[in-house]
Chains A and B, each alone.
Chain A
Amino acid sequence: MARMTMIEALRSAMDVKLMDDPSVIVFGEDVGYFGGVFRCTAGLQARHGEERVFDTPINESAIVGLAVGMAAQGMRPCVEIQFADYVFPAYDQITQEAARLRHRSNEQFTCPLVVRMPTGGGIFGGQTHSQSPEALFTHVAGLKVVIPATPYDAKGLLISAIEDPDPVIFLEPKRIYNGPFFGDHSGKSVPWSSHPAGEVPEGHYTVPLGKAEIRRAGSDVTVLAYGTMVHVAEAAASEAGVDAEIIDLRTLLPLDVETIRTSVEKTGRCVVVHEATRTGGFGGELIAEVQEACFWHLRAPLLRVTGWDAPYPHAQEWDYFPSPARIARALVQVMGD
């Protein structure tokens, strides 16, 4: 097996699919010759040609609108939005068009497309390079929403997403593109090459959509997290000295309620963690699911640790980002209740 960063793993997924399916096509801003500002598509144009990997004008609604038209005819576009913060001009095409094409045409037309976008903070990007808009997509019927936390999952999930018959929003936590992040920005950065999940097969494999993964088994409290926060939550659990069961959701929609239920029935406690703002965030949905599925097993109120309900700040980034200390406090609190 090879060692890959998340960037290399994503590139490998697109490369594998470009190789084995002529209907797969990749495009976006700076994606072609240069290979993307995060280098996720580097080398793909040279290898597969300009007709399959190309640059677009700076118009996100065109990027997704073109993809919808192509997908409706049977191609499988995998397009890149340079930052999730820039997806909004495409919001109409994604939520009103791609999401509903199958339903409204009674399957005359379908929309097998993937919209990739770097998401989340931790890079001092300020309010337009740091947002986590997952809840704006999980609120839309007809979309699938995926967010990997490791290179292995990134590749397997992206291949599944490209092969999926429906539109998939594929969020890439940019803070962990090059290595896992445990929430201490002053600490030494760790590369994926030194992490077991940085081992990635070269060829085709899939990680199924809609299946969560237990990252750390534990008996005291269930932590629901995704993307960067999976690793931060692991750090928080050891900081708190709590035997937490950490579930990496991987797919937010459709949600793997079974894995969550089994875990919370065992632990009786649950803390939800995400970077996105709190009010109306996906954490609220998770808490509702847990409450409905596990109410009689609960031993403490459900808690969430999230970004604050404010625009993502630049200088105050580490006061905003849910820190291991904040998560640890929540873990201790549910244990004390």
Chain B
Amino acid sequence: MQPVVLPAARREITAAKLSFPRPPARPDQPPDFSNIVVPPAGALPVPPLDIEAQDARSFAVGMVRVLDENSRAVGPWAEYLGDVSAEQLRLGLRDMLKMRAVDRRMLNAQRQGKTSFYLQCTGEEAIGCGFQRQLERGDMNFPTYRQQTLLIAADYPLESLMGQLYSNDLDPLKGRQLPIMHSARDYGFFSISGNLGTQYVQAVGWAMAGALRGNGKIAAGWIGDGATASNDFHSALLSASVYLPPVVLNVVNNQWAISTYTGTAAGKSETYAARALGYGIPALRVDGNDYLAVAAVSRWAIDRARQGFGPVLIEWFTYRVAAHSTSDDPTAYRPKDEAQAWPLGDPVERLKAHLIVRGDWSEERHVQAEAEILDEVTAIQKAVEAHGTFVDPQPISPAEIFRGVYADLPEHLRRQRQEMGC
């Protein structure tokens, strides 16, 4: 389409002008992250668990980072983590490698038509993997569709995870939900909704119920940078600010909301973390591609909530490396090589390098682990595919449509089921 040139008369000169946030680079330009300030690792202290919002500003506009350029763990947050064994870090690395293998395999399966839809979390693996390993049994995550990492690090059986993606008889949700919209109560994973933001305020309610019933459990809300614009994000912060329940409110800022640059959700806010301060909720911004920073801050925040010091918000600063989903082509709105230019690097590479520097890992072991994990994932995938895929369906009974609408099947649904012929 040709641009329309407006007649000059239409553009009267007035002082008020609207602002339309723009990303630093579009597809025809080189990637540009010069607007992102990356503070040195180890610069921020570990705040007391009872920190108040007014004292949290440096954490909300700064960035907690642990791994330095030489892949060493430095500063107060590294000390806070002190007792983390090589074994635990290798487990974190394996979680992330497993996540990557699952994402790769399932993207491939979608391309082969074996499932209707898929969505990866590439580049964001450290966040959910690191956070989940700090939770206790009985705590509850209220995730978005991009937190499959929480399931992986909770050791959720891949048979169930993939069964859901293939909508076959291994699907715990009976084919009712879009692939990736998991639900796994026993693994601390609340049923995912497609309607952005709704889960965030529900997490606050769950945490309030935990406090009212005195069960010692906490809740964790999850939301993307784009969806912080939703009403429910603000409802959650307000409610958390009023009742001070044991909830950790996570914002995964991966810089994009489908094609929309994060600035459109942020407006004039300095950071998403800083938003919480206005509600009187302390907040920290964290390098989300630094597994050690994720583990340290998650442990601190979960501890704070569990010990009764109230809500806290964490902005995980990261980058969405993959397309939004299999329905999306990001080359239409951002530079092709933007991911490579991302200043915080790759979470897997960074943890791997750290383990090697510590003397607890090697290139050979890494290559071997990657291959083993891929084999394991592929073998399970084959077994799950034997239960049917979209190309080769072994359909779940259509009667599943009517089950679970209510606790008991009402008469009008019984009639409709009959009319359907099952």
Contact = CB atoms under 8 A, between A and B. Distances in A.
A124 interface: yes
A32 B259 CA distance: 9
Interface stretch (A41-49, A176-184, A215-223, A257-265): A41-49
Of residues B177, B412, B413, which shows the largest number of chain A Cβ atoms within 10 Å of its Cβ?
Answer: B177
Interface residues of A, number: 48
Interface stretch (A84-92, A152-160, A189-197, A281-289): A84-92
A22 B11 CA distance: 11
Given A56-B264, A57-B229, A315-B395, A309 B416 contact: yes
A29 interface: yes
Contacts of A54: 20
B226 A57 contact: yes
Secondary structure at the A interface, as helix, strand, loop or mixed, is loop
A55 interface: yes
B39 interface: no
A80 interface: no
Contacts of A88: 195
A32 B196 CA distance: 20
Of residues B1, B171, B396, which shows the largest number of chain A Cβ atoms within 10 Å of its Cβ?
Answer: B1
Contacts of B259: 30, 33-34, 37, 55
A279 B229 contact: no
Contacts of A61: 231
A124 B229 contact: no
Nearest to B422: A319
Nearest to A47: B1
Interface stretch (A98-106, A125-133, A229-237, A247-255): A125-133
Contacts of B117: 124
A251 to B, nearest CB: 28
Contact of B195 (A56, A62, A85, A316): A85
Contacts of A51: 18, 20
A320 interface: yes
Nearest to A19: B4
Of residues B197, B259, B393, B400, which shows the largest number of chain A Cβ atoms within 10 Å of its Cβ?
Answer: B259
Nearest to B226: A58
B278 interface: no
A329 B110 CA distance: 36
A59 interface: yes
Contacts of B116: 124, 314
Contacts of A29: 257-258, 260
Given A29-B260, A55-B20, A62-B229, A128 B265 contact: no
Contacts of B227: 58
Nearest to A62: B229
B167 interface: yes
Contacts of B257: 29, 58
A33 B332 CA distance: 9
Of residues A47, A309, A313, which shows the largest number of chain B Cβ atoms within 10 Å of its Cβ?
Answer: A313
Interface in A87-128: 88-89, 124-128
A310 interface: yes
Interface of B: 1-4, 6, 10, 18, 20, 26, 116-117, 167, 171, 174-179, 181, 193-197, 226-227, 229-231, 257-260, 264-265, 267, 327-328, 332-333, 393, 395-396, 398, 400-402, 405, 412-413, 416, 420
Interface of A: 15, 18-19, 22, 29-30, 32-34, 37, 43-44, 46-51, 54-59, 61-62, 85-86, 88-89, 124-129, 278-279, 308-311, 313-316, 319-320
6 contacts: A46-B1, A57-B265, A128-B194, A314-B179, A315-B167, A320-B401
The 8 closest A-B pairs by CB, nearest first: A128-B194, A315-B175, A126-B178, A57-B229, A34-B259, A319-B398, A315-B167, A43-B1
